[in-house]
Amino acid sequence: MIPNFELQQLRDLPIEEVAGRLGLQVARHKALCPFHDDRHPSLSFHTRRNTYRCFVCDAHGGTIDLVMRMLHLDFPDACRWLDPSLMTQPPLSRGVKGLPVAVPIAKRRIRPGCVAPSSQPQPSPPLPQPPLSERGGRRPGCVAPSSQPQPSFNSSSSPSKIEEVDAQRTGAYENKQKAFDASRYERFFLNPTLSQTAREFLFTERRLDPRVIQWCRLTSWRDRQGTDWLQIPYYSSDGRLIGIQNRNLTKDAQPRFRFPTGSQCSIYNLPVINRLQHSEALYITEGASDCWAMLSAGHKAVAIPSATLLKPNGLQPLLTLHSQLSTQFHMFPDRDEPGERLFLQLQKILPNLIHHHLPPNCKDFSEYYLQTKNKLI
């Protein structure tokens, strides 16, 4: 069961930030309502109450409600979508269709003549198993042997297989309980290729440096519905694949992002910290897109999607850099309330974080980078 304090953290996530992750275009606290045929923005966001309401179809609620309704998920799955680390939590006790629900012993009826379970010898609980990457004899990213048949893919398999384990859409209980299977996806990033749609997005629209795209190992794929997706790998500081973010390349399409089951998408571009020199600057950006722009501008950078979703040790790699290399941290927060809130949250953890202001006509660093590139033409 998800602890109450973690549920409260999810309810406290900025409602407009969650709406943006779901693909809604929020402007002046309003957006087109996805729950009816909306031509004029009728979905309003109350940032102080952290709620949404449509004054046409009366759809309303908080962060978890918005995810449940837009992605057609139940309550625990919506929580896991907001915070992928909750994939390791057991399901809530209301059960999953087709699977038995564990009932506490105190609530079970004991038939006459039967012995209460509590009076019978109970087996010792199994010892907790270490992560797969820490068990002897297995390489990081490999799956433990199992008596159950494991999915196999030949070299001709398409990346569209990601659909089958997409945590936002699938209803398969067993997939939701699995840890991230890096071995299933690693080969897609050995020789990454980009579709024409992805190239236009990265090089024509965003004007990013091809060397940055190669460093980040971005690739693309197309699902069965013909939708093009940009596949963004997340690596640990030692180069292990720990998660994947899929970005929809169709403008204004929903959902905007999709994540395979168990993906750990917290700090992006962690391998860059191994290239830092003593007292060198490291820029912290909001999201992978701003990180690519910052790297293309010639700065070393990482990205943090939300400080609220980070666990207590989530920023430990950055804290280590500060203590060992005297790293100077810099940030260009987005010109909105969530951006400034993220900066203040990070500044509490990284006191030497330096605030840089964007020009008034730029909402984020990607826009600032693009304007700078266009001026040089």
Whether the per-residue pLDDT at 286 is higher than 50: the answer is: yes
Domains of the chain (ranges; CATH) run 4-88 (3.90.580.10), 159-258 (3.90.980), 270-376 (3.40.1360.10)
Burial 266-297 (b: 16+ CB within 10 A, else e): bbbbbebbeeeeeeeebbbbbbbbbbbbbbbb
User: What is the pLDDT, as a whole number, of residue 72?
Assistant: 86
Edge-to-edge strand ranges of the sheet holding 219-222: 219-222, 228-235, 241-248, 257-258
Cα separation, 235 vs 172, whole angstroms: 26
CB contact set of 145 (below 8 Å; sequence gap of 6+): none
The pLDDT tens digits for 240-284 are: 999 999 999 998 888 888 888 888 878 999 999 999 999 999 999
- Alpha helices, DSSP H, located in the chain: 4-11, 15-21, 63-71, 75-82, 173-177, 196-199, 210-216, 287-296, 316-325, 337-349, 365-376
Q: Rounded mean pLDDT of 149-153?
A: 36
Q: Under DSSP, is residue 137 helix (H, G, I), strand (E, B) or coil?
A: coil
Cα separation, 233 vs 288, whole angstroms: 10
The pLDDT tens digits for 3-49 are: 777 788 888 889 998 998 888 889 999 999 989 888 889 999 998 88
The pLDDT tens digits for 196-215 are: 999 999 999 999 999 999 99
- How many other CB atoms are there within 10 angstroms of residue 82's CB atom? 23
The conformational region for residue 30 under phi > 0 = left, psi -120 to 50 = alpha, else beta, is: beta
